[in-house]
Amino acid sequence: MEKHRLLKPEYSSKLIGILFISISLYLFLLTDHINAGLAAAFIGIFTMLIVHYPTVEEDVAVAELKSGILSYHNILEDLDLSNNGVLIPPNDNLTESRVYIPAGKMEYIPDIYDEMTVVSSGRGRTGVSLVPPGQPLLEEAKDRIEYSIEAKGIESGRECMGHLSKGMGLAKSFSFRKKDDRIRIRITLDRYEDYCENLRESSSNICTRTACPICSAYLTSASEVLSSPLKIKDFEKEKNHIKYELEEV
Amino acid sequence: MEISQKLAISITIWTVLILVLIGGQNTELFVIMILIGLLIARELSSVYIRPSIADRLDAFIQVGIVIFVGVVMRRILSILEIL
């Protein structure tokens, strides 16, 4: 059921703010309760300015997340690319991260450049290089961090993933571990659990290729902080827990 | 409930609590206690809030710091018996 316009937080907060400011004016002008007047004025202004929602509705945001990744899925299906993706961090040839999906058995990673989408560098080095679907989400998280996360190690990765989870509300919790050349990422979904399930019904193998925008943001951040290409080795989903195992290549 | 709503409710509770404890006695102390509440809220919520909300919260803190400097200057002048 749609809420009445005045019941939406962006409007109700303004009404509450105006109410408190009116009370503060009454206290300042007609009584000698200075502190109470200050308190009411402060609460009024704070409520009016802090509670605001310059954002789209949640169902619209979910639909946008889906539409982008379904285009990727259709392109990869048409090209018959079903191998696991490799996340490539920025390097001398690349200004931003890419996800490389090899066409056949990958012998080693070819040189990938910014302007290159279809990679054809000979046997075992053919595939497509795409911008990770989670790149815009990751950029949003990186804007909240006061330093560049590239090659800063696993702790920076955890900080970045913390912004993705708690700051942006993409997941309830996460864990990010590295042992030798194996990396394990576990994401526990909350409000996007239905989105994940619906997406997997229509395109289940997207998880091991580019991953959806939410998981892709986590995987790309792992690749960037470790400054190492990471191949998706294994994927598992159990209830609302998503487990990725990656391998440095 | 969104983080900005939680923030507004927390600051409201803190302000009312300070008002109850201090009452109408000491306005300077009251203002400084509100500033301390804002600083705590900013630090604890830094991971969770959007940059736009963080900027607004910072603006409140900057105003609070200006008031705090004014309070300290007033105290110094009164100790030096200039004021």
- pLDDT tens across A145-187, in order? 878 898 899 999 999 999 899 888 899 999 999 998 899 999 9
At residue B37, the pLDDT reads 95
- State the average pLDDT for chain A: 88
More confident position, B69 or A119 = B69
Helix (H) or strand (E) segment spanning residue A88: strand A86-88
Inter-chain CB proximity A34 and B8 less than 8 Å: no
Distance from the Cα of residue A83 to its chain's centroid: 23
Mean pLDDT of A66-91: 88
Q: How far apart are CA A82 and CA A103, in angstroms?
A: 8
Alpha carbon of A40: minimum distance to chain B alpha carbons (Å) = 9
User: Under DSSP, is residue A173 helix (H, G, I), strand (E, B) or coil?
Assistant: strand
Picking from A33, A51, A54, the nearest residue to B8 by CB comes out as: A51
Mean pLDDT of A189-215: 90
Q: How far apart are CA A102 and CA A180, in angstroms?
A: 24
Q: How far apart are CA B4 and CA A122, in angstroms?
A: 54
User: Under DSSP, is residue A116 helix (H, G, I), strand (E, B) or coil?
Assistant: coil
- The tokens 């308190």 sit on which residue? A39
User: What is the share, in percent, of chain A residues with pLDDT greater than 90?
Assistant: 49
- State the average pLDDT for chain B: 89
Residue ranges of B 16-55 with Cβ closer than 8 A to chain A: 16, 18-19, 22-25, 27, 30-31, 34, 47-53
pLDDT tens figures, A56-72: 677 888 888 888 888 88
Q: Which DSSP symbol is given to A96?
A: S
At residue A185, the pLDDT reads 96
- The tokens 């827990």 sit on which residue? A241
Alpha carbon of B50: minimum distance to chain A alpha carbons (Å) = 7
Of A33, A12, A15, the closest CA to residue A24 belongs to: A33
- The tokens 């997941």 sit on which residue? A171
Inter-chain CB proximity A36 and B50 less than 8 Å: no
Q: How far apart are CA A173 and CA B32, in angstroms?
A: 36
Mean pLDDT of B1-11: 86
CA distances from A110 to A119, A227, A229, A248 (A): 8, 17, 12, 15
At residue A3, the pLDDT reads 59
pLDDT exceeds 90 at position A18 = yes
Q: How confident is the model at residue A227 (pLDDT cuts 50, 70, 90)?
A: very high
pLDDT exceeds 90 at position A89 = yes
Of A241, A186, A206, A239, the closest CA to residue A132 belongs to: A206
